[in-house]
Amino acid sequence: MVPIKESCVDVLIIGAGPAGLMMAAWMAKCGINTRIIDKRGTKVFNGQADGLQCRTLEIMESLGFGHRAWRESNHMLEVCMWNPDEAGILRRSDRIADTLPGLSRFQQAVLHQGRIERFFLDEIEDCSGIRVERGVMPTSLNIDEEAVEDQHAYPITVILRHLTEEEATPNQTATVADGQSVRNGIYRSNLAKDDTDDLLATSKLNEKANTEEIVHAKYMLGADGAHSWTRKQIGLSLEGESTDYIWGVLDIVPITDFPDIRMRCAIHSANSGSVMIIPRENKLVRVYVQLTTTQKIGDEAGGRADRSKVSPEVIIGEAQKILAPYKISYKKLDWWTAYQIGQRVGTEFSVHERVFLAGDAVHTHSPKAGQGMNVSMQDTFNLGWKIASVLKGQANRSILKTYQSERRKVAQDLIAFDHKFSRLFSGRPAKGDADAEGVKMTDFKDAFTKGNLFVSGTNVDYGASTIVAKAGDASVQGDGTDVLVGDEKNRLISNQELAPGLVVGKRIPSVKILSQADARPWHLQELLPSNGRWRVLVFPGDVQSQAQAAQLIDVANSFDASNSFVYCFTPAGGPIDAVFEIFAIHRAPRTAVTIFDFPSIFRRFSETDGYDYDKIYVDDISYHEGHGKIYEEFGIAEHGCIVVVRPDQHVSYIGSLSEPAAVTQFFSAFMVPQME
Ligand code: FAD
């Protein structure tokens, strides 16, 4: 008998959907020893999620492939609302901007999940060589509870089974009416029974050598979707309600006389239900139709619907009724699916801060706000850098508690939003003011407009903790989670008034600034790529003023001292900016100063490479791209300020130039000293 293979890995990721791939991307960028497995033999090729919110595009840009998504996607600029008029005739009742103007340098766009997964796979492989191991699934999970607090231990033991190609590739095509063979998403949908147990049972019959292996891991992520095997193993559950709403989804090239087919549309018919139109890449249009239980495609309330009753014909039939008198049909069908919505959120997002859950494994909701893929990726965008910095011995394990306190709150807010929005979207339009049971279209528009800010992802505001220095009780978060990490009495609180346009806890907005060295305009976020580093942005104001120049020298001396955060928490022998990058963004006229008017910490010199020209920026007008006015945008007055930004671009701390030592105090609460 061949002995069973046994190995160790720092991070084991179960599931290579958007959440798992985002985690793998962080691990790749931070150089962490990682394996990512998926039970399926292939990635998604078409269909499934498609909405990309502004924040997701910003994140993708920070990972190096946002431009691919931006170029290939369909950009959605306007939402049109169609409702029955007093005579019951469908009319366009309103138009609003799809993304609130000024929110981000990106606007909401759509591109199918398969392309997004492709961009991730390319980037991950290019920078690390990590590849998704397909046709592999876990069969058992064991956690050594005695070892969970030991930094060097591998407390997680997982047995992995390798499937045959046949087992890993379920049939996902369906032949539809006109003979086209079209991929459908039913096999991944929650209307289909999960096949994990069946796969585990049938794959036992393969008695090939080496079909199983033992893996010991320091950390594990269950990004294995709504049916999450990992969640069941660690005994966690989702709380919330299952709705009777069943949604049919068609990706078609429509043949229609409906005038707004290339706009995002929310359409309420008088009596036939609602439809959402999402214009997509390559002339495709996604049609989301709510299939009502009266069509007898649903089961008992709360039960699983009979999926054999759902077909592309049923879905387009519903769309035709809702859109009448306009006509809609198709010759080209790219993909279709149907699924039933549950609005649920996990009670816990991890056990022992060793095994974590992310994405659909910890929250499920309707697709209407286009949040599934976005929030799932943003979960692991929050978690990845934290695990990487703990594994590298830079940060204390205590910061891992902030994953749950930060992301569970987002999931809860999303479920609350979805709950309200779903009902407004699915309800029958009110027939006049006296119709209390109907949905008032003014309420719907209001919810839609407010919802646009929420769903953009740019408004996520993380609560107080040791890594978010703001007022508030850091020991208890909004969701009741105990997140005390560090010494609450000595916890640093930001001076938010120094930069009211920046919110401690939110992602830093992007504004254009110019390189002092060569006058090139840059978006601030372009200077903050996702590589695990913290950024300290020093805003000295006008450095032509003697007082401001003197303050800048004090800040630089403090940061350059041997007891500063830079020297205490950066591993000796490596690059000085391996953990922290320090930037100066001033507001003197660009041509009135040179880089040599700035302390050397902002233009470090190397014998081989000369000066660093990439750390000094100016708030001034560019030749070709206007004036970003960052001081005005962020509300920074002439006395300036210091801003600390996390590796995921969220603002951690805002403080005065006159208290530079506070930055060391901030980092001392959770960073691990690197030198005696
Ligand atoms: P998933 O994308 O589900 O990825 C989980 C991965 O884990 C899969 O690759 C799976 O093969 C793998 N896996 C599962 N179990 C195991 C196991 N035991 N071992 C190993 N691997 C495992 N969202 C929208 O915003 N718009 C939409 O139109 C939309 N349509 C959807 C249609 C369908 C049919 C489905 C299922 C979802 C849809 N969603 C939509 C939701 C969106 O796809 C998800 O929110 C998003 O994919 C969640 O990402 P995830 O990585 O958490 O999970």
Each residue's pLDDT tens digit, 360-386? 999 988 766 678 889 999 999 999 999
Q: What is the pTM of this model?
A: 0.92
Query: Which of 288, 330, 462, 617 is an active site residue?
Result: 288
Q: Is 280 a catalytic residue?
A: yes
- CB burial of residue 216 (10 Å; 0-12, 13-18, 19+): middle
Burial class, 659, CB count within 10 angstroms (exposed 0-12 / middle 13-18 / buried 19+): middle
- Residue 367 annotated in active site: yes
- Judge whether residue 28 has pLDDT over 70: yes
CA 448 to ligand 1 centroid distance, Å: 25
Active site residue 288: yes
Q: Determine the pLDDT at residue 181.
A: 60
Rg, Å, the chain Cα set: 26
Q: Which of 293-307, 310-324, 423-437, 641-655 has the lowest mean pLDDT?
A: 293-307
ipTM beyond 0.90?
yes
Burial 400-409 (b: 16+ CB within 10 A, else e): bbbbbbbbbb
Looking at residue 428, its pLDDT comes to 74
Average pLDDT, rounded, for the chain = 88
pLDDT at 48 over 80: no
Catalytic residue among 35, 68, 161, 280: 280
**What percentage of residues in the chain have a pLDDT greater than 90?**
67
Residue nearest to atom 40 of ligand 1 (CA): 49
Instruction: Tell which atom from ligand 1 comes closest to the C-alpha of 138.
Output: 19
Nearest CA, atom 39, ligand 1: 49
Confidence of residue 489 (pLDDT cuts 50, 70, 90): low
Per-residue pLDDT tens digits for 1-24: 566 889 999 999 999 999 999 999
Q: Which of 38, 50, 413, 479 is catalytic?
A: 50
pLDDT greater than 60 at residue 301:
no
Q: Does residue 424 register a pLDDT over 80? A: no
Quote the percentage of the chain above a pLDDT of 70.
Answer: 85
Separation CA 30–CA 463 (nearest Å): 25
Q: Is the pLDDT of residue 486 over 60?
A: no
- Amino acid found at 18: P
In whole angstroms, give the CA distance from residue 378 to residue 670. Answer: 23
Q: Flag whether pLDDT at 564 surpasses 90.
A: yes
Which of 236-250, 304-318, 402-416 is predicted most confidently? 402-416
pLDDT at 479 over 50: no
The residue among 615 and 50 whose pLDDT is bigger is: 615
| 631: Cβ contacts below 8 Å, ≥ 6 apart | 539, 541, 587, 619
Q: Which two tokens stand for residue 673?
A: 């000293």
Examine the pLDDT at 338 and tell me if it is beyond 50. Answer: yes
* Pocket-testing residue among 163, 337, 341, 376, ligand 1, by greatest number of atoms within 8 A of Cβ: 376
Residue 519 has pLDDT above 60, yes or no: yes
Question: d(Cα 569, Cα 578) in Å, to the nearest integer?
Answer: 10
Question: Sorting pLDDT into bands at 50, 70 and 90, what band is 340?
Answer: confident
Is residue 115 predicted with pLDDT exceeding 80? yes
Which atom of ligand 1 is nearest the CA belonging to 358?
Answer: 52
Confidence check: pLDDT of 41 > 90: no
Nearest atom in ligand 1 to 20's CA: 51
Compute the distance from residue 674 Cα to the ligand 1 centre, in Å: 40
Residue among 220, 360, 364, 366 whose CB has most ligand 1 atoms within 8 A, to mutate: 360
Q: CB within 6 Å of ligand 1 — which residues?
A: 14-20, 37-40, 48-51, 113, 137-138, 185, 188-189, 196, 223-225, 229, 249, 337, 339, 359-361, 367, 370-373, 376
Q: How far is the CA of 584 from the centre of ligand 1 (A)?
A: 42
User: Which is higher by pLDDT, 477 or 65?
Assistant: 65
Provide the pLDDT for residue 444. Answer: 77
